[in-house]
Amino acid sequence: MSVIGLERWLQHLLEHLPIAREGHDPEGVHQVRVAVRRLRVWLRLAGMRVLEDDLAWLVRAAGQVRDLEVLLQHPNLPRAFRAWAELRLKQARTTFVPLLDSPRLAGLLSALACLPPLDAKVAESRLPRFVQQVERRAQEWRREDSIEHLHALRRALRRLRYALEWLEQDSDTVKALQEIFGQVGDLSFTLNYLAAFEAEGGRAPARYREQLEDSLAQALKEAKQAWNHHQGDLRSFAKST
């Protein structure tokens, strides 16, 4: 592997933009975000800042739609909360969908298609930066022990995972940690949306909130256990890079 082209994930993005526009399959928006995040990591491996703001814009634009689609996949949502989330999703899509036909997105796609392939050795030389970012975020999480810092660590792990996969290196440990931390993310944003629903006068059974809070506490415990178990693997990996 002497060069790394971005064609695979650019094509993945192009294939899923129409699905995201139609809105019938939640995988459309999800895969758009996955493709964009992988492309952002490719740019970082290339040492390029060009197009970073535009890719970040597209991820943010799809964010609320994706969150609400995930929320609505939960089978045990209270009826009133589900109805509220469905309305919120409809509103979010009225903002998101027009962006998919915007000149900014068309220009972004054209520019990505023109980028030259990345030298694999240059990319590998930048891999330690991803490891160092994970270590910094982990230190911040240990100091503050907040969900926000855990989310920041999860994002750093995701970027490291994608960097490893661009370089065709093993990412199983990083992926496992990312997925465990993702359980905390799903539960915390569900609680945040529940708080917004209640702030607007909605009512959900007290037991539902209690179950979410109990599940979040358990997910946090599992995240800490997983990190304590695997951080040595990451240290070993850091030395190898």
- pTM of the predicted model as reported, rounded to 2 decimal places: 0.94
Q: Give me the phi and psi of 4, to 5 degrees please.
A: -125, 110
Whether 96 and 152 share a structural domain: no
Same domain, 22 and 74: yes
- The string of pLDDT tens digits covering residues 210-229 is 999 999 999 999 999 999 98
Predicted confidence band at 11 (pLDDT cuts at 50, 70, 90)?
very high
Task: For residues 124-128, give the mean pLDDT.
Answer: 95
CB-based burial label for 199 (10 Å; 0-12, 13-18, 19+) = exposed
Please name every residue paired with 119 in a beta bridge, in sequence order, or none if there are none. Answer: 3
Total domains in the fold of the chain: 2
CA distances from 228 to 76, 122, 172, 222 (A): 32, 32, 16, 10
Q: Check residue 231 and give its pLDDT.
A: 79
The two tokens of residue 36 are 């964009």
135 and 239 in a single domain? The answer is yes
Judge if 1 and 52 occupy the same domain: yes
Evaluate whether 210 touches 194 at the Cβ level (below 8 Å): no
pLDDT at 32: 98
In whole angstroms, what is the distance from residue 110 CA to residue 114 CA? Answer: 7
* Domain that residue 217 falls in: 126-241
On the question of pLDDT at 162 being above 80, the answer is: yes
Q: Where are the alpha helices (DSSP H) in the chain?
A: 7-22, 27-46, 52-72, 79-99, 103-114, 120-125, 127-144, 147-166, 172-199, 206-240
CA 162, distance to chain mean position in Å, is 11
Number of neighbours of residue 138 by Cβ within 10 angstroms? 19
Q: Which of 183, 136, 178, 142 is nearest to 157 (CA)?
A: 178
Q: Do 111 and 13 reside in the same domain of the chain?
A: yes
Q: How many CB atoms lie within 10 A of CB 219?
A: 20
Is residue 69 located within the same domain as residue 143?
no
> Residue 241, SS3?
coil
Q: Residues 198-213: what's their mean pLDDT?
A: 96
58 pLDDT band, cuts 50/70/90, is very high
Burial, 82: exposed, middle or buried (Cβ in 10 Å; 0-12, 13-18, 19+)?
middle
CA 187 to chain centre: 15
pLDDT reported for residue 230:
84
CB 120 within 8 A of CB 3: yes
Please give the Cα distance from 113 to 7 (Å, whole number): 8
Cα R_g (the chain), whole angstroms:
19
Contact 54, 104 (CB under 8 A): yes
Domain boundary among 94, 119, 144: 119
Of 101, 119, 137, which residue sits at a domain end? Answer: 119
